[in-house]
């Protein structure tokens, strides 16, 4: 084993980080609700390789019905391909964790050095998770060109023309979904409503009703597993509920142990990354998500995984890397919804 200035080997220091990794990642997930809830509900998927993330999408009916008036009519055996392939880019990110020899010397005692390593690791992991969450919810990150986003509201500050939740009526949505044109296919068009400044419960319930008729195949039958709200939208929702608030024990959903307000089949939580910088129709107030139709894929070997410490050649210090590799995908948007302009 290589001996460092402090007398603690890279192997021992790395083992310390490995032992706290699960605890730290769970504890920090409370600030990134999309990552937290999708993971807790088992909605995240793993992949092991590939140039693209390829997701099959049902866009047509495979065969035609035959009316049997007498029972001797010939069956209509004409068939067509009923699936198309949506393709998504994945991104690979690394966040370094560095400790200099001077910092080790200044933190005397083995316990102090391990505390320093833990603090650096927690800080780097939190920063990386916030970046991934920001891309998912808002977009506009440095790696936005290689990872999809929920934010398809092009009237907002960071909305992308490839974002999943578009600010247009069903059938009039022009954003591509994994390279596929949405057209009039119900499952490729998200539900949408501009509520004109103030959201009402009826707006939310109407969208839930619309989305519930278009559940993705192979899902758990739930409607909105997670609703992300802007800070103003969340406060408005609580005001509407008043004494009728319903809480769910969030210990089954995140590590914070804080009860969250229930909505639809899941919970509604505020997220600071909701894009509300542009007022009016440009403000994303609620993203109502069916996590069977919108899913985050992560690589089996790079799901916020720590690589271990090693010495830096030519420098008095050592470093490790936290790796994340993945991408946001969708195969069904009709079961999710976007509400804009509901901040007051």
The pTM of the full predicted model, rounded to 2 decimals, is 0.83
C-alpha span between 337 and 55 (Å, rounded): 20
Per-domain boundaries in the chain: 1-60+78-344
Per 3-state DSSP, the chain is made up of helix, strand and coil in percentages (nearest 5) of: 30, 25, 45
C-alpha span between 183 and 174 (Å, rounded): 8
Q: In angstroms, what is the C-alpha Rg of the chain?
A: 24
Which of helix, strand or coil describes residue 68?
coil
- pLDDT of 228: 96
Q: For residue 108, what are its two tokens? A: 């005397």
C-alpha span between 136 and 133 (Å, rounded): 5
The pLDDT profile of the chain, 344 residues, written as one tens digit per residue, is: 343 445 556 654 555 555 445 555 444 444 688 998 999 899 999 988 888 898 888 765 666 787 888 878 788 777 655 568 899 999 999 999 988 888 777 766 666 666 777 778 888 898 899 999 999 999 999 999 999 999 999 999 999 999 999 999 999 999 999 999 999 889 999 999 999 999 999 999 999 999 999 999 888 999 999 999 999 999 999 888 876 666 665 554 554 444 578 899 999 999 999 999 888 889 999 999 999 999 999 999 899 999 888 888 899 888 899 999 999 999 999 999 999 999 88
- pLDDT of 66: 74
- pLDDT of 8: 59
Task: Give which of 34, 336, 33, 344 is closest to 193, Cα–Cα.
Answer: 336
What fold, for 1-60+78-344? phage-related protein like fold (3.90.1690)
The burial class, CB within 10 Å (0-12 / 13-18 / 19+), for 9 is: middle
Half-sphere exposure of 257 (CA within 13 A, CB side): 1
C-alpha span between 76 and 63 (Å, rounded): 8
Task: Write b or e for each residue in 290-327: b if 16 or more Cβ atoms lie within 10 A of its Cβ, otherwise e.
Answer: bbbbbbbbbbeebebbbbebeeeeeeebbbbbbbbbbb
C-alpha span between 211 and 334 (Å, rounded): 6
- pLDDT of 76: 77
- pLDDT of 3: 37
Angle at 54 between CA 52 and CA 60, to 5 degrees: 150
- pLDDT of 155: 94
C-alpha span between 204 and 188 (Å, rounded): 20
The region, left, alpha or beta by phi > 0 then psi within -120 to 50, assigned to residue 242 is: left
Contact residues for 134 (Cβ-Cβ < 8 A; gap 6+): 140, 141, 273
């Amino acid at each position: 084993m290589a001996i460092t200035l402090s007398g603690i080997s890279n192997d021992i220091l790395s083992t310390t980080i490995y032992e706290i990794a699960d605890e730290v990642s769970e504890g920090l997930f409370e600030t990134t609700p999309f990552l937290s809830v999708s993971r807790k509900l088992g909605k995240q998927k793993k992949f092991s390789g590939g140039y693209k993330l390829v997701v099959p999408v049902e866009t047509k009916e495979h065969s035609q019905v035959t009316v049997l008036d007498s029972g001797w009519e010939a069956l209509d055996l004409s068939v067509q391909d009923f699936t198309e392939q949506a393709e998504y880019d994945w991104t690979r990110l690394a966040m370094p964790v560095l400790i200099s020899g001077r910092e080790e010397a200044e933190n005397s005692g083995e316990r102090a050095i391990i505390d320093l390593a833990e603090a650096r690791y927690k800080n780097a992991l939190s920063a990386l998770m916030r970046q991934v969450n920001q891309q998912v919810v808002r977009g506009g990150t440095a790696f936005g060109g290689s990872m999809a986003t929920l934010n398809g509201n092009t009237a907002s500050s960071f909305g992308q023309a490839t974002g999943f939740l578009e600010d247009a009526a069903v059938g009039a949505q022009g954003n591509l979904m994994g390279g596929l044109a949405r057209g009039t296919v119900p499952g490729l068009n998200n539900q949408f409503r501009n509520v004109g400044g103030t959201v009402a419960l009826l707006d939310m319930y109407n969208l839930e009703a619309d989305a519930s008729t278009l559940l993705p195949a192979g899902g758990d039958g739930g409607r909105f597993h997670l609703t992300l709200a802007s800070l103003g939208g969340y406060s408005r929702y609580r005001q509407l509920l008043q004494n009728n608030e319903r809480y769910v024990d969030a210990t089954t959903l995140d590590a914070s142990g804080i009860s969250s307000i229930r909505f639809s089949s899941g919970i509604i939580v505020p997220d600071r990354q909701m894009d509300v910088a542009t007022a009016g129709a440009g403000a994303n107030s609620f993203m109502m998500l069916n996590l069977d139709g919108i899913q985050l894929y992560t690589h089996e070997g790079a799901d916020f995984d720590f690589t271990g410490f090693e010495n830096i050649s030519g420098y008095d210090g050592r470093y490790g890397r936290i790796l994340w590799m993945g991408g946001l995908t969708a195969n069904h948007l009709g079961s999710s919804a976007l509400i804009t302009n509901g901040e007051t």
